[in-house]
Structure 1
Amino acid sequence: MNSNKKILTALVVLLLIANVATIGLFWFKKENKPQQLKGGPAKFIIKELELNKSQQEQYLVLVEEHQQGVRPLRDEIKDAKDAFFSLLSQPNVTEAEKQTAAKMVSVSTEKLDLLTFNHFAKVRAICNPTQQKKFDAIIKQVMQMMGEQHPKGRGPHQGPPMDGPPHNGPPPHERPEGELLPPPQN
């Protein structure tokens, strides 16, 4: 009985240590994540670069212009990916057809990447030299934050989700048992 009590005490202590370690890991992971503010990357940039009122106004105009340009490009990418992955349902798809469809996805993605690059070049241009150094230091963090705003894929425009082609029904693990393909869309 005494040895059972010792074993039980040791197990409780071990579980407490495991719980503390797990909580510590989650806490440590949160500390290492890029700072997220309500309002996302825009508020983060304003705060980190300490933009003055005039710069903030210019920046918000640039953000609006960027968002207006991004929306149709995201639709274009979605349509190109849908067309690409719809080739899977066709028999005897040639390599040339696959290459052409894949190229359409990459051309649209390139347009989006260039639009985003040019947007951030304009943002950097409204900064003073001190702010530009800070901008250079945080841009990767900002891009990561932008990627986290698109949970369905792997990033803002980095391809389909890891669980299958885009916009083609629920992922396999969410489909009814035995259903391999999504129901036909009419």
Structure 2
Amino acid sequence: MNRLKTNKYIGGVVIALAILNVVLLSFLWVGHQEIQKTRPENGLKVLEERLNLTDEQKEQVKSLRDVHFEEIQKFRRASQEARQELHNLWGSDHSQDKVDVLTKRLGELQVSQEKATYDHFAQIRALCSPEQQATFDKLIKDVLRQGSQGGPRNGQRPFPNDRGRGGPPPPRDGR
């Protein structure tokens, strides 16, 4: 009889854990859907909706966007190559001049990428009517303001050891 009670108890625990897994997976799936809504490819849809772009404007913006992303990818690849070359210098005898050249190159690539992004948005703005431009300006200001309020590490997830304000953790139970 005791064995029967134990089996019922284990069976109940297994069923409860299965239900808990289903609930947890549902929350994760819904959270994943929310993350998908904020991906860059959805930025084009937001832009189209908020600015109420015409079909012709949508095509022009898509074309500009495709060219822009190709250009940005080139900058990112070049930056990654320069960064890799810089980090490879750790294990060898190197001159400070080589480090200076590579870090300067990384800075130039970052400047070029920022300029390309500015030019890209200026081109999109130029496609807009005056009413759309006013909405575009407000939208860009909102995006920039949200980016500056991103919290630790500019809105990215904190490192596991980040304590928020940099201090030690609070004492536990008077210890």
SS of 1:51's equivalent?
A: coil
Q: Is the 8 A contact 2:79 2:109 kept in 1?
A: yes
SS of 2:53's equivalent?
A: coil
Code of the aligned partner of 2:107: S
Q: Is the 8 A contact 1:49 1:131 kept in 2?
A: yes
Corresponding position: 1:115 with 2:119:
no
Corresponding residue for 1:155? none
Q: Distance in 1 between matches of 2:106 and 2:17?
A: 50
Corresponding position: 1:7 with 2:9:
yes
SS of 2:37's equivalent?
A: coil
Q: Is the 8 A contact 1:35 1:44 kept in 2?
A: no
Code of the aligned partner of 2:19: I
Q: Distance in 2 between matches of 1:40 and 1:55?
A: 17
Distance 1:130 1:40, change over 3 A: closer
Q: Distance in 1 between matches of 2:85 and 2:74?
A: 16
Corresponding residue for 2:106? 105
Corresponding position: 1:59 with 2:61:
yes
> Alignment identity in percent?
21
Q: Is the 8 A contact 1:124 1:135 kept in 2?
A: no
Q: Distance in 2 between matches of 1:81 and 1:10?
A: 56
Corresponding residue for 1:170? none
Calculate the aligned-residue CA RMSD, in Å.
3.4
Code of the aligned partner of 1:22: L
Q: Distance in 2 between matches of 1:116 and 1:131?
A: 15
Corresponding residue for 1:88? 90
Distance 1:7 1:134, change over 3 A: same
Q: Which deviations, in whole Å up to 9, do the C-alpha atoms of 1:100-148 show, x marking residues without a partner?
A: 422321221221122113212332343413454445556799xxxxxxx
Structure exhibiting the larger radius of gyration computed from Cα positions: 2
Distance 1:71 1:31, change over 3 A: closer
Normalized per residue, the structure richer in helix is 2
Q: Distance in 1 between matches of 2:145 and 2:50?
A: 13
Shift of 1:90: 1.8
Corresponding position: 1:18 with 2:20:
yes
Q: Distance in 2 between matches of 1:137 and 1:14?
A: 45
Code of the aligned partner of 1:90: S
Q: Is the 8 A contact 2:50 2:135 kept in 1?
A: no
Unaligned ranges ≥5, structure 2? 147-175
Q: Distance in 1 between matches of 2:113 and 2:42?
A: 19
Unaligned ranges ≥5, structure 1? 142-186
SS of 1:33's equivalent?
A: helix
Shift of 1:54: 3.2
